[in-house]
Structure 1
Amino acid sequence: MYRQLPDTIKAEITMSLNRQIISENDWRNLAKEFGYASAIEALKAKQNPAEELLNDWQTRKEATITNLHEALTKMHRDDLASVIERSPHWTSRADSSVEAKSTLTVTQQERATVTQPASALFEHYGVRVPQPTSFPPTRVFPEPSRPTYAVCPLVIGYATSDGPGHQRATGSSTLFRGPLNVVVDTGSPWDRDQILESLARFGVSCDSVHYVVATHSHSDHVGNLNLFQNAVIILSYDVAARNSYRTYRFNDGVPYTIDNWIQVIFTPGHSHQDLSVVVKDTEYGTVVAAGDLFECEDDLALPRLWHDFAEDKTLQELHRGKVLTMADAIIPGHGRMFFVPKHFRR
């Protein structure tokens, strides 16, 4: 069911759908797919219409992950369909059909060893199972271990051209929630309300954020540093808490260690003081929040997307290569998180 999707994936879907597209291939088209066409005008007045839509839809019996995936695919929103496919709860309709059929197939060996709970399940589906004279001991399986850090998108960055020398853009902002709350980049000043709303959705207040790392000092990445009064703020060569500043020489090549899972590394090129945040043991493996070291996933194939904004192309290319070999997934400065293609990894 839709409600089983992790909150981080729900947030990524709703934030992307809330970004209105001229063709209306956003939450409005999804509303039509789900039979909410008459509610579109009312939803327009909501601060988060996509979330309102999906919260109401999830009360319906047809609110399955598969149906959402099919609706997004029908809308040609493969970007969001692939987000769903990252969920541990995702199975295609074909896989679900095979799985359902397999539960109704009982071999002689299974009949001989079936436990009482399984017998009741088979009888529920109309399959009669002879009761064994004795039951094997119950097998206890340990619960799968949870990742140490959850990846929680606060703002999904974007950048679009408005003609020569003009852009519409904002930077990605991400919360890593775990033993510590660590925010990487804070978007532009105009993203304030979205950051506060997203933090609340993930159950985190500004005052409970322990660290804020700014990947670089451009205004679309540092626009809301002032929200985090209790945090240690790392920017350029400064590690600051309140009015206390300490210099950390990232250019010496020694990472700044926040805890056993998170390090801040020096990755100049886009600017001369860029930082990236390496987070191990997330639900996606090792994730690197890289700021504008990567503009978006498309710049892997279209170097001009990052060349145009690089202060030092040679340095940036060097550090891009290093990050590509260490990361399972990358959060770029102006796009959604993407998985690193296998051919980039050693």
Structure 2
Amino acid sequence: MVSTVMKTETGMTMRSNPLRTYKGISIGFGLLACLLVLGALLVPGFVSSQNARSILLLAAFLGLASIGQTLCALVGALDLSIPYIIGGANILLPSLMVAGLPAPLAMLLVLLLGALVGATNGALSFKLQGQALIMSLGVGFAAVGAVQIYTSLGSQFGGTVFAPVPEWLRNISAFNGKFFGLPIPPVIIIWAVIAIALGWLMHNTWFGRSIYAIGGSRTAAARLGISEFKVWTVIHSVSGAMSAITGMLLLGFSGGGFVGVGDPYLFTTVAAVVIGGTSLLGGAGGYGATVLGVLVLTVLTSLLVGLGLSFPAQQAVVGLLIVPMVAIYARSPHIRNQI
């Protein structure tokens, strides 16, 4: 098993416990297996190919939105602007297309704006780390408010945009045919490719190792010449870009722009990170663990819907799941305390 090693300022070797790294994954797989068994026993058709397709489709959107949240958590931060950037992108894209901008160019512009908002969020949050959580929330409010003002010009429906959605965008997000012989929407393939690429980058590049180094020990990272400000800004920029991508893909899925489409992602991205076992204190976990958390959360939601539970009841069950998970992970000491 792989363990994390770094030198402290006293020259002593600081090594993380391998069990800490894999405990979250083991628990996640156990939860996922239990949920699948319960679903098969209690809900007819739960293990059908059609339901599996639906679960993977919903998981893809949550998984893409959770990329930025995972990167932020690895340095000890949280990004609460994610749902607002998702909602803003969801109504800004059709609004730009209605204004006459070609769809590819409009998507590129929305992506760049999402990255810019994320970078601004990262820079401000870093400078005011004592208020970073509220800062990210404020940046999200400001961004979605600005988009609503723009989309409401000449219209009384600032939070909803009615515009034709390109067929190719619908096919990416909600394709009912076969993609390269597979009966799944391309967005699922996109999610899988990004997840694999991100996993490789996090463990085989200086940037990925810098994220873990900062989360493990800021002092040690600084002495290695790692710029915490640059890393902090870049990961928030990635978070903003992925949120914008998620918002645009959700437009293809729903067929219409609605600013509230991102609301469910305010805490579900955090829940996916926590359930996967990534430490909110930073330095431990990764996107592979978050993928597992996303699957657990999506399968659980599908099971609760199949059992006929109302939305408030679903929230209560998810909350009851998160509390013990946090309690379990909190018992493991942070990497900077393991010498």
TM over 0.5: no
* TM-score for both structures, normalised by structure 2: 0.22
* TM-score for both structures, normalised by structure 1: 0.22
* Larger helix fraction of residues: 2
* Larger strand fraction of residues: 1
Rg (Cα) greater in structure: 1
Higher relative contact order (Cα pairs below 8 Å, separated by 6+ residues):
2
